[in-house]
C-alpha cells in the first residue's frame, strides 16, 4: 500500500506545519544572533496561529479521512485547533519570560512546537503504536522543557521526577498495548468492532484495557497516579507549567475519547466502574489537598488534578451511553476548551509576574498586588473566579453542562460529589484573590511592563471568559457537531442504523 | 511442548522484576536500567504474540519500542548528568526539595 | 521440539538470573553488565520466535548502543564508594516488596496463561529482513517517520540539557 504524500499533506498540513516550524526554528541556531529568541518566538507564534486556522478550516469541511495511521475527522480538528491555540498563547506569554532568564534558550520555542506536534499526533490517530510515538514525542519535549532552567536545582529535580515516573507509566501503557494486541491481533482501535469477541481472550483483553487506562490515568494526573504532578508543576518554569496543565490534558483526554469509543461497546469490560472510581477519587483528593497548599503552583497543580476528575466524570457519562453520543461528548469538549482558556489565563498572568527574573512561587508573593498592578490583579481574579465555577462566567456553564449530563445518565452520587467538590474549590481559588486585595503590600515585587500583543491577548481571553459564559450557543453547537470518524460514518456503515 | 504461554510468563516475570527494581533501588542509573528491563518484557510479549498471530505488527511494534527506549535513555541520562552536576549525587533520596509543605512556611 | 524446550528454559533462566542481578547488584557497572546478559538472552528467545532480524537488532542497538551509553555515563559520573551506598529499605520493607512482586507476578502469570496458545507453522520469510523492511517502508511509513522525529527530539533535548557551557548573561 502506497502512501499518497500529497493527499496526506492536504489533510494533515496543520499538524505538519508545527513540525516544519520546529525544524526551521532549530536551523536558526546556525546564524548566531542577538535576535534569535525573537525570530524563533515569532516563527513559533505564526506557525501555531496558522496551524490553528488550518485545523479550524478543516473542521468546517466536516469530512473525515482515514489513512493507515492517521485520522482526520472533526474530533481531531477540534482538539488540534485547541492544542495549536494553547501553543500560541504559551509562546506569546513566554517570550518576555524566556528573555528574562539567566540563560535565554531560544530552543524553548522549538521544543514547544515539537511537543504540540506530538499532541496533535496523539489525537489524530486510532492506532496505538502511532499514539505511543506521539505521546513520547510530547513527553520527551516536556521532560526537557521542565528541566530548561538548568541553573535551578528545582527545575532539574522536577525533570528527573517527571522523567522517571513518566517512563514507568509508558512501560505500563506499552505492556497494556501488547496485551491488547495479543487479544485482538491488531494495534488499531478502530478495528475492534469487526473482530469477533473470542471468549478465551476476554481476560487478556481486560488486562490490556486496564493497563492502558492506568497509563492514561497517570498522564492526566488522576488519583492515585497524581503524586508526580505537584512536584513537577512546582519545579517547572512557569510557562511550561501552564502548557503542561492544558496541552497534556487536552491531548490525553482526546486520545482517551478514542480509546473509550473503541472499548465502550465491549460490555465485558467494567470500563464505567473503573472510570467512576478514578473520577471519584480524583475530584475528592484533588480538591481537598489543594486546600492545604501554601505554594501557588502547587495549588494550581491540585486544581488541575481536580479538573481532570471533572473531565473523568464526563468520560464516565460517555461510557455509560454505550456508544459515542454527541450529547455526552460535547460537554467534555466544551469543558476542555474552557478549562484551557482559564488555566492558560492564570498562567499567562503568573508568567508575566515571573518575568522579572524571579520565579513567583509562594502565595505571599501576591500580597498587595492590587496596589501595584491593578489591571493584572483584576484579570487574574476573573480567571480564578471562573475556575471556581461562579455563574456569569464560562467556568460555571462548562461545569453545569458536565454535571447535568451525568445526572441525565443516572450517575447521581458522582455528580453530587462533583458539585460538592467544586464548592470546596471556591475556598482555595479565592485565597490568592484575598491576598491580592486585602493583604498589605510587603515585598517589592519587580515585574516588567506587559507587551502590547500580550495585553491584547489577555483582553481577548477575559472577553472570552464572559462570552462563553453568556453566549455559549454557537460554541456549544461547534462542540456538538464534533464527532469522531466512526460516528460520522455510522449512519451509512452501521447495519443497526435505524431507517426512517 | 513449548507454547506461547511460556514466553508470556517469562515476560510477566521480567516486567515485575523491572518494576520491583524501580521501587527498590535508590540509584537513579539502576532505576533506569530497571525501566529498560520493563520495556524488554514488553518487547518479548509483542514478539511472542506476533509469532502467535503470524502477522508482523507485533515485531514492528517492538522495533519502535527499541527506538523509544533509545530516545528515553538519551534524555534520561542527560537529566541525570544535569542533576549530578548540581548535587553530585545520583541518589533519588537526595531529591527532596519539591514536596508538599503542610506546615505554614 | 524437545531441544527447543531445553533451549527455552536455558535462555529463560539466564534472563531471569541476570535480571535479578540488574536489580540487586550494588555497583551500576555490574548492573549494566547483567543487563547486557539479559538482553542477549532475550535476543536468543526472539530467534526461537522466528524474529531473527529483531534478535540481531536487539544485540546491535540495545546491547551495543544503549548499554554502551549507560556505561559511558557511569564512567563519566565516576561515582565514589560512599555514593554507591543506598539508604534503602529495611529488611521488613524488602520482604513486603518481594511478596507484592511475587503476588503481582503470580496474578499476571495466571491471567496470561488463561487462554491457551498453540504454536502454529508460519510462512518461510516471517520475520526476515525482507518482509520487515517491506512493511516498515510501505504500510508503516508514518510510524517510521514519527520515530525519526522522536529521535530528533531526543537528540536536541540531550544536547540542551547536558551541554556544559552555561551562557549566563
Query: What CATH number did the domain enclosing C34 receive?
Result: 1.20.120.1200
Instruction: Please compute the mean of the pLDDT values over residues A221-232 and round it to a whole number.
Output: 89
Is residue A489 domain-resident? no
- How many domains does the structure of chain A reveal? 1
Give the ipTM of the model, two decimals please.
0.94
pLDDT in tens, A443-467: 666 667 788 899 999 999 999 999 9
Alpha-carbon dihedral angle through residues A76, A257, A69, C133, given to the nearest 10 degrees: 150
DSSP string covering A88-139, please? Answer: HHHHHHHHHHHHHSSS--THHHHHHHHHHHHHHHHHT-SBHHHHHHHHHHHH
> Which of A140, A141, A156 to probe by mutation at the B interface, max B CB count within 10 Å?
A156
Determine which of A47-56, A384-393, C34-43 has the lowest per-residue pLDDT on average. A384-393
Assess whether the previous peptide bond of C15 is cis (omega < 30° from 0).
Answer: no
Chain B 17-76, residues with CB within 8 Å of chain A CB atoms: 18-19, 22, 28, 31-32, 35, 38-39, 41-42, 45-46, 48-49, 52-53, 55, 57-58, 60-61, 64-65, 68, 71-72, 75-76
Better-scored residue on pLDDT, A309 or A409? A309
pLDDT: which is higher, A3 or A219:
A219
What chains are in contact with A, requiring at least 3 Cβ pairs below 8 Å?
A: B, C
Phi, psi of A188 (to 5 degrees): -100, 120
Using CB atoms, which chains have 3+ pairs under 8 A with B? A, C
Higher pLDDT: A49 or A27? It is A49
Shared domain check, C131 and C73: no
**Residue A101: is its pLDDT beyond 70?**
yes
Interface B-C: count of C-beta contacts within 8 A: 222
Output the average pLDDT for chain A: 87
CA of B12 vs chain A CAs: smallest distance (Å): 9
Q: How far apart are CA C90 and CA A106, in angstroms?
A: 47
CA distance B64 to chain C (A): 7
C120 is a domain residue: no
- The count of domains in chain C is 2
How far apart (Å, rounded) are the C-alpha atoms in residues C4 and B87? 50
What is the pTM for the complete model shown? 0.93
Q: Using a CB–CB cutoff of 8 Å, tell me whether C116 touches chain A.
A: yes
Has residue A149 been placed in a domain? yes
Q: For residue B63, which residues of chain C lie inside 8 Å, CB to CB?
A: 54, 57, 132, 136
Domain membership of residue A499 (yes or no) is no
Between A277 and C2, whose confidence is greater? A277
Q: Which domain holds residue A389?
A: 5-484
Domains within chain B, CATH numbers bracketed:
26-98 (1.10.287.3510)
Is some CB atom of chain B closer than 8 A to the CB atom of C95? no
Contact call for C39 and B40, based on CB within 8 A: yes
> Which chain B residues are within 8 Å of C7, Cβ to Cβ?
none
Q: Is residue A500 part of a domain?
A: no
Last residue of one domain, picked from the residues C59, C79, C99 = C79
Q: Could you report the per-residue pLDDT of B29-82, keeping only the tens digit for each?
A: 999 999 999 999 999 999 999 988 888 899 999 999 999 999 999 999 999 998
Q: CA–CA separation, A48 vs A39, rounded Å?
A: 14
Which of C49, C77, C105 has its CB closest to that of B48? C49
Pairing mode, strands A65-66 and A71-72: antiparallel
Q: Maximum CA pair distance of chain A?
A: 71
3-state secondary structure at position B98: coil
- pLDDT tens-digit profile of A133-176? 999 999 999 999 999 888 888 899 999 999 999 999 999 999 99
What's the CA gap between A119 and C114, in Å, rounded? 36
Q: State the DSSP code for C114.
A: S
| DSSP run (H or E) holding A17 | helix A5-27
Q: Which residues of chain C are within 8 Å of residue B29 when distances are taken between CB atoms?
A: 28, 31, 70, 73-74, 77
H/E run at residue A66 = strand A65-66
pLDDT confidence tier of residue C164, bands split at 50, 70 and 90:
low
Q: What is the pLDDT confidence band of residue A491, given thresholds at 50, 70 and 90?
A: very low
A387 in a structural domain: yes
A496 lies in some domain:
no
C153 Cβ under 8 Å from any chain A Cβ: yes
Range of the domain at C16: 1-79
Could you tell me the pLDDT band of residue A495, with boundaries at 50, 70 and 90? very low
Is the domain of C2 the same as that of C70?
Answer: yes
Model confidence at C165, pLDDT cuts 50, 70, 90, reads low
Tell me the C-alpha distance between A500 and A498, whole Å. 6
Amino acid at each position: 500500500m502506497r502512501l499518497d504524500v500529497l493527499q496526506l499533506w492536504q489533510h494533515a498540513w496543520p499538524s505538519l506545519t508545527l513540525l516544519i516550524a520546529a525544524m526551521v526554528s532549530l536551523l536558526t541556531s546556525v546564524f548566531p544572533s542577538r535576535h534569535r529568541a525573537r525570530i524563533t518566538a515569532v516563527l513559533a507564534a505564526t506557525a501555531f496561529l496558522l496551524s490553528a486556522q488550518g485545523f479550524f478550516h478543516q473542521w468546517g469541511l466536516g469530512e473525515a479521512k482515514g489513512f493507515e495511521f492517521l485520522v482526520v475527522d472533526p474530533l481531531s480538528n477540534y482538539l488540534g485547533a485547541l492544542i495549536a491555540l494553547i501553543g500560541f498563547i504559551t509562546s506569546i506569554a513566554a517570550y518576555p519570560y524566556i528573555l528574562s532568564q539567566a540563560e535565554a534558550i531560544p530552543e524553548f520555542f522549538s521544543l514547544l512546537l515539537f511537543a504540540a506536534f506530538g499532541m496533535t499526533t496523539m489525537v489524530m490517530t486510532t492506532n496505538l503504536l502511532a499514539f505511543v510515538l506521539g505521546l513520547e514525542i510530547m513527553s520527551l519535549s516536556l521532560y526537557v522543557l521542565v528541566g530548561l532552567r538548568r541553573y535551578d536545582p528545582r527545575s532539574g529535580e522536577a525533570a528527573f521526577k517527571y522523567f522517571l515516573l513518566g517512563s514507568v507509566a509508558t512501560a505500563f501503557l506499552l505492556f497494556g498495548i501488547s496485551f491488547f494486541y495479543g487479544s485482538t491481533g491488531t494495534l488499531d482501535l478502530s478495528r475492534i468492532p469487526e473482530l469477533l469477541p473470542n471468549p478465551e481472550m476476554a481476560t487478556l483483553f481486560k488486562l490490556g484495557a486496564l493497563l492502558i487506562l492506568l497509563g492514561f490515568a497517570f498522564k492526566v494526573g488522576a488519583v492515585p497516579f497524581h503524586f508526580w504532578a505537584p512536584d513537577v508543576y512546582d519545579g517547572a518554569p512557569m510557562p511550561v507549567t501552564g502548557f503542561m496543565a492544558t496541552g497534556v490534558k487536552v491531548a490525553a483526554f482526546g486520545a482517551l475519547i478514542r480509546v473509550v469509543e473503541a472499548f465502550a461497546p465491549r460490555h465485558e469490560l467494567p470500563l464505567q466502574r473503573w472510570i467512576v472510581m478514578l473520577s471519584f477519587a480524583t475530584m475528592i483528593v484533588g480538591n481537598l489537598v489543594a486546600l492545604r497548599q501554601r505554594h501557588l503552583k502547587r495549588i494550581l497543580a491540585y486544581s488541575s488534578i481536580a479538573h481532570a476528575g471533572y473531565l473523568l466524570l464526563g468520560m464516565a457519562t460517555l461510557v455509560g451511553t454505550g456508544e459515542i453520543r454527541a450529547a455526552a461528548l460535547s460537554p467534555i469538549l466544551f469543558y476542555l476548551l474552557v478549562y484551557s482558556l482559564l488555566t492558560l489565563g492564570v498562567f499567562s498572568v503568573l508568567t508575566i509576574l515571573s518575568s522579572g527574573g524571579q520565579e513567583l512561587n509562594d502565595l505571599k508573593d501576591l500580597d498587595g498586588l492590587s496596589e501595584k498592578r491593578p489591571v493584572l490583579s483584576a484579570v487574574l481574579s476573573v480567571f480564578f473566579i471562573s475556575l471556581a465555577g461562579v455563574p456569569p462566567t464560562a467556568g460555571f456553564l462548562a461545569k453545569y453542562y458536565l454535571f447535568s449530563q451525568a445526572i441525565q445518565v443516572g450517575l447521581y452520587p458522582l455528580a453530587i460529589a462533583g458539585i460538592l467538590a467544586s464548592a470546596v474549590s471556591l475556598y482555595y481559588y479565592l485565597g490568592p484573590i484575598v491576598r491580592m486585595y486585602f493583604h498589605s503590600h510587603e515585598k517589592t515585587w519587580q515585574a516588567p511592563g506587559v507587551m502590547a500583543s500580550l495585553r491584547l491577548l489577555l483582553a481577548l481571553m477575559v472577553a472570552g471568559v464572559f462570552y462563553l459564559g453568556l453566549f455559549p450557543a454557537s460554541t456549544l453547537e461547534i462542540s456538538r457537531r464534533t464527532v469522531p470518524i466512526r460516528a460520522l460514518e455510522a449512519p451509512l456503515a452501521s447495519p443497526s442504523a435505524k431507517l426512517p | 511442548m513449548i507454547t506461547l504461554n511460556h514466553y508470556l510468563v517469562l515476560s510477566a516475570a521480567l516486567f515485575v522484576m523491572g518494576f520491583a527494581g524501580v521501587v527498590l533501588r535508590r540509584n537513579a542509573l539502576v532505576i533506569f536500567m530497571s525501566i529498560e528491563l520493563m520495556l524488554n518484557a514488553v518487547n518479548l510479549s509483542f514478539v511472542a504474540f506476533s509469532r502467535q498471530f503470524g502477522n508482523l505488527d507485533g515485531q514492528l511494534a517492538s522495533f519502535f519500542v527499541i527506538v523509544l527506549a533509545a530516545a528515553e535513555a538519551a534524555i534520561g541520562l542527560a537529566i541525570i548528568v544535569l542533576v549530578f552536576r548540581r548535587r553530585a549525587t545520583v541518589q533519588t533520596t537526595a531529591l527532596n526539595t519539591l514536596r508538599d509543605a503542610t506546615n505554614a512556611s | 521440539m524437545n531441544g527447543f524446550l531445553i533451549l527455552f528454559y536455558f535462555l529463560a533462566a539466564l534472563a531471569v538470573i541476570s535480571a535479578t542481578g540488574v536489580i540487586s547488584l550494588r555497583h551500576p557497572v555490574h548492573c549494566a553488565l547483567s543487563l547486557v546478559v539479559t538482553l542477549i538472552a532475550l535476543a536468543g528467545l526472539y530467534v526461537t520466535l522466528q524474529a531473527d532480524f529483531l534478535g540481531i537488532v536487539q544485540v546491535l542497538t540495545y546491547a551495543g548502543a544503549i548499554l554502551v551509553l549507560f556505561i559511558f555515563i557511569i564512567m563519566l559520573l565516576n561515582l565514589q564508594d560512599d555514593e554507591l551506598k543506598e539508604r534503602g529499605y529495611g529488611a521488613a520493607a524488602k520482604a513486603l516488596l518481594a511478596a507484592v512482586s511475587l503476588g503481582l507476578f503470580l496474578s499476571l502469570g495466571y491471567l496470561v496463561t488463561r487462554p491457551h496458545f498453540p504454536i502454529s507453522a508460519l510462512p518461510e520469510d516471517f520475520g526476515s529482513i525482507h518482509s520487515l523492511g517491506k512493511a516498515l517502508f510501505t504500510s508503516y511509513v508514518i510510524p517510521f517517520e514519527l520515530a525519526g522525529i522522536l529521535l530528533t527530539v531526543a537528540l536536541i533535548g540531550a544536547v540542551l540539557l547536558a551541554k556544559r557551557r552555561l551562557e549566563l548573561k
